[in-house]
Chains A and B, each alone.
Chain A
Amino acid sequence: MKRVALVGMPNTGKSTLFNRITGGTARTANWPGLTVDLASSRILLGGAMVQMIDLPGIYDLSGVAEDERITQEFLNKTELDAILLVLNATQLDRQLVLALQLKALGAPLIIALNMSDEAKQAGVQINLQGLAAEIGCPVLKISAKHGQGVPDLKEALNRLICQQAPKQIALAHAPASNTLHQDEARLYSRFILRPAILPPSPTAMLDRWVLHPLLGLPLFVLMMFCLFQLTYAIGVPLQDLMKEGLEWLKSDILKVAAASWPPFWSGFLVDGVFDGLSTVLTFIPIIFLFFCLMAIIEDSGYFSRAAFMMDGLMARLGMDGRGFVMLMMGFGCNVPALMGTRVIRDRKARLLTMLAIPFSLCSARLQIFLFLTGALFSPLQAPWVLLSLYFASIFISMGTALLLRGRFKSTEPFTLELPPYRFPVLRQIFLRGWGEAAGFVRLASTMIVIGVVLVWLLSNYPNPQHSYSTLIAGFFQPVLSPIGIQAELSIALIFGFVAKEVVLGALAVIAGQDGTALAHHLSIVLDPVSAYSFMLFSLTYVPCVSTIAAMRKESNSVALTTFSVVYSLFLAWVLSFIFYQGARILGF
């Protein structure tokens, strides 16, 4: 099969073009010899099947930075029928160098000048014939966003791959980019005409407000707030609807059908496997919406502005501005926030951010805290208690980063482009949300189902009254009583591994009471100090099995995932111990 790779610098709209050409049917799959997944898709081009591969953005083919290695390794190892080089038509003054490098290597090259609509608007005139003749390959103007020029590009691509035999390039022979700057400048001045004085762009005017020294930050907080509100305003009803549907399926169909099965199998399949699958499914609306909104923020250009604003603070913690945005996202749900760290290209910086995210007080934990603060504290105290938990959350994530930053020193040459503001494309937004949700289901469902089944087994065998989880709770009692958590509550904590949403339900089952009655029961068995200790523990220890699965998937490291779990458990205990014993010593 013929093979074509898309190469280009970041922010050239390469992935948009990839989706445009392939019709959004990309699959991300592991590539032999590479440790990361690449998006690839098969398309019919002029009667033959062609595999298109979208490579991660690269700044310099002769570059030495870690984040460029994947693309370099791929190009070095793979025979290609064509390299489709995507350049941003408004930034040719610095992007032509990639074309010169590939030309020097004798690559089967075709160049797409993307965002040519923006270039035209800015008054940039490009002599296509001249460029094509000088570089010696087809050069076409396109707009991947609007689809202009894409059919012609496909045709030209087809002609190219029919003419030439596949070729493998050796990047070791790539000329260093700094030896090509003069050629680049010469090429630019000969074939590209740019007005000397540009009118102030809408971007500059918007930036004056968005990056304002006083208004920028409140605007950012407001934006994040709207993002949460929107995710939950749309996502939670969807989630509830899905839960109801699944609940109906379970009680009216599955339970009925399972009535005649042996008790072990009906329990295993209905309360174990089915509940596990339900857990996975109920995450889908949130992940889908979150990434749709994330795509809007990224594609609009706001993301890098947010990173710009927060970088000063985050640099002191060993992270960068992008990490802050992800921590904020974690307040919604840790799972997509972990997945979102992909924007951080440096592995170590990314891992550090991933270790900090699970301490973000997510909406599931918020449910528990809202219930407990409502049950145990006066209406006047409750909001402050809740606020203190938010502060604790920020403090713990940042403290974790500060503590571990020495081990995860970023080697990324840190600079981030601030692209002009753009209107996001609906189709791209949808594809992104859909792709992420599908990826989550594919890769995390096994682990989540296993986790749920395990908890079911533990809490039902040998029998529900004296189950393994009671044994485990009993076993941990000497450890948990110094932090004020009794056996009854420690079972709820075990359930909390599955999902924090389950904790309240588990408490209700254990106490045999629901709603207000449960609140009343808890206000008798717990005092404010032990309740706060319980909340602090719930905040800090492993958020849920989905988070573990997402971390495992995104970090590709069992060691890091294990560390995160063990560290959070240990930290949860230490913090609750200090709080509980301290409060008792002080006489509370």
Chain B
Amino acid sequence: MTLADLPLNTLAKILSTQLSPDLTQRLAALGLHAERDIEVIRRGFFNGPLQLRVASTDFMLRRNDARQIVVLVLPQAEADLIAVAA
């Protein structure tokens, strides 16, 4: 699943990214790199950017860029999702 498709308020881990080196670096500086848990807080309107949260930092990322990031939903979060769906 890519970050763009991640349901709201669901913790996930980053598996891989295919972004430009400077954006990768910038996101890492904001806390978004492998080993960190990430969640999507909300999606902007007009197909706007995503509001992301990593630990203590909130930031925005455009959907095009979010599509380049592959994430894995954390087991606990997945269980919660399934519970909600059921």
Name A residues whose Cβ lies closer than 8 Å to a Cβ of B: 9, 59-60, 62-65, 90-91, 93-94, 97, 122, 177-178, 181, 185, 194, 207, 211, 213, 216-217, 304, 307-313, 315, 411, 413-420
Contacts and interface: CB of A to CB of B under 8 A. Distances in A.
Nearest to B48: A312
Contacts of B49: 308, 311-312
Interface of B: 20-23, 25-31, 33, 35, 41-42, 44-49, 51, 54-62, 65
A418 B29 CA distance: 14
Contacts of A420: 58
Given A181-B35, A211-B42, A91 B56 contact: yes
A312 B35 contact: no
A416 B52 CA distance: 10
Contacts of B29: 9, 59-60, 63, 94, 97, 177
Contacts of A177: 25, 28-29
Contacts of A9: 29
Contact of A416 (B25, B45, B60): B60
Given A211-B42, A308-B51, 13 more contacts: A60-B28, A63-B29, A94-B30, A177-B29, A207-B41, A211-B44, A213-B45, A312-B44, A315-B48, A315-B62, A413-B23, A415-B60, A418-B51
Contact of B33 (A64, A178, A310, A416): A178
Contact of B22 (A91, A310, A413): A413
A59 B29 CA distance: 6
Pick the 4 closest A-B CB pairs, nearest first: A312-B48, A312-B46, A59-B29, A413-B23
Nearest to B23: A413
- Dominant SS at the B interface? mixed
A405 to B, nearest CB: 15
Contacts of A97: 29
A21 to B, nearest CB: 25
B25 A311 contact: no
A65 B51 contact: no
A63 B54 CA distance: 20
A65 B26 CA distance: 8
Contacts of A181: 28, 33, 35
A415 B42 contact: no
A417 B58 contact: yes
Contacts of A93: 31, 55-56
Given A93-B55, A415-B60, A309 B45 contact: yes
Contacts of B33: 178, 181
13 contacts: A9-B29, A60-B26, A60-B29, A64-B25, A65-B26, A91-B57, A177-B25, A178-B28, A308-B60, A315-B62, A414-B65, A415-B61, A417-B58
A415 B27 contact: yes
Nearest to A58: B29
A185 B29 CA distance: 13
Nearest to A11: B57
Contacts of B58: 417-420
A415 B55 contact: no
B35 A64 contact: no
Contacts of A91: 31, 55-57
B30 A63 contact: no
A217 B62 CA distance: 19
A185 B28 contact: no
B44 A65 contact: no
Contacts of B65: 414-415
B22 A309 contact: no
A413 B25 contact: yes
A417 B30 contact: yes
Contacts of A59: 25-26, 29-30
A63 B44 contact: no
